[in-house]
Amino acid sequence: MSYNLLKGKKGIIFGALDENSIAWKTAERVHAEGGTFVLTNAPVAMRMGKINELAEKTGSEIIPADATLEEDLDNLINKSMEILGGKLDFVLHSIGMSVNVRKGRHYTDEKYDFTTKGWDISALSFHKVMQSIYKSDAMNEWGSIVALTYMASQRVFPDYNDMADNKAYLESVARSFGYFFGKEKKVRVNTISQSPTPTTAGTGVKGFDGFISYAEKMSPLGNATAQDCADYTVTLFSDLTRKVTMQNLFHDGGFSNTGVSQEVIEYFSK
């Protein structure tokens, strides 16, 4: 069902790699709600070519940008305003990667140049995106910026590795930049703390299958899917949430406030 919640709104969507990506589902949903946008991803992700399908489907243009490079981001933001014919109303940062996770380095055996690369891509890139937008005054008043996070930023999930630290950093950037964006530009900044979701980034985490099944059993409403996340993001881009800012918003079927569920008790009572 579509409500035209984003009619006339313009934005940038980072991170649609394939049809499982949270950003991919969000782009489809934003399109259905009447929003227009530029799609972007790292040049290396473009080579997989999938994003062209999404661009065609949603009538969008693609501008490659490595989210760790300021010059790429400045170019992306200026070109997006040209293409879209004005300033932006929404931005989705849906980017994450840990080299330590990819290379199977344990949290107690990090290789620090991997760590640095991981936090640059997963957390500092959010600051870089916002700083570039802020300096070029590229957001309309009452615009909305959203990044995706995971609750390992606040509680230990051992296999989430250094991504836990990256997410803590990301959430802090959202709060701190949210203050200045709110004061100076009337723009809101939030993070959505999403359930485990079977995507390329998600399934890269060791033990993901156990992780997602456990979360499913612990969440009174069940895990939130990528599609559910797309729906929630649309509400945050809409005019119905104008005073929500600097928040880390749990979107997890109730997982974060559940101590234990009946299913888990029964499993251990066998």
State the minimum distance, in angstroms, from the CB of residue 184 to ligand NAI.
26
Question: Is 15 marked as a binding-site residue?
Answer: yes
Question: Is 57 marked as a binding-site residue?
Answer: no
Stretch (H or E) spanning 153:
none
Look at residues 244, 73, 224 and name the one whose alpha carbon lies nearest to residue 175: 244
Binding segment toward ligand NAI, per CB under 6 A, in 21-29, 79-87, 171-179, 239-247: 21-29
Q: Which one from 107, 150, 169, 179 is the annotated catalytic residue?
A: 150
12 binds ligand NAI (CB under 6 A): no
Give me the half-sphere count of Cα atoms (radius 13 Å) on the Cβ side of residue 257. Answer: 7
Question: Is 133 marked as a binding-site residue?
Answer: no
196 binds ligand NAI (CB under 6 A): yes
Q: Residue 140 or residue 194: which is nearer to ligand NAI going by CB?
A: 194
Beta strands at 248-251 and 139-149: parallel, antiparallel or unpaired: unpaired
Q: What part of residues 204-263 is at the interface with ligand NAI (CB under 6 A)?
A: none
Terminal-residue alpha carbon distance, the chain: 43
118 binds ligand NAI (CB under 6 A): no
State the minimum distance, in angstroms, from the CB of residue 1 to ligand NAI.
23
Binding segment toward ligand NAI, per CB under 6 A, in 91-99, 129-137, 176-184, 235-243: 91-99
Structure-token match 């010059």, residue found: 71
- CB of 190 within 8 A of CB of 174? yes
The C-alpha angle with vertex 235 and arms to 228 and 138, in degrees rounded to 5, equals 120
97 binds ligand NAI (CB under 6 A): yes
197 binds ligand NAI (CB under 6 A): yes
- CB of 138 within 8 A of CB of 184? no
State the minimum distance, in angstroms, from the CB of residue 108 to ligand NAI.
22
Question: Is 160 among the residues known to form the active site?
Answer: yes
Question: Is 150 among the residues known to form the active site?
Answer: yes
Q: Residue 17 or residue 27: which is nearer to ligand NAI going by CB?
A: 17
Scored b (16 or more CB within 10 A) or e, 104-140 reads ebebeebeeebbebbbbbbbbbbbbbbebbbeeebbb
Chosen residue from 35, 143, 202, 253 binding ligand NAI by CB under 6 A? 202
Roughly what angle, to the nearest 10 degrees, separates helices 226-237 and 22-32? 50
268 C-beta neighbours (distance < 10 Å), count: 7
Positions in the binding site for ligand NAI (CB under 6 A): 14-15, 17, 21-23, 41-42, 45, 66-68, 94-97, 121, 148-150, 194, 196-197, 199-202
| Active site residue ranges | 150, 160
Binding-site positions for NAD(+): 15, 21-22, 95, 167
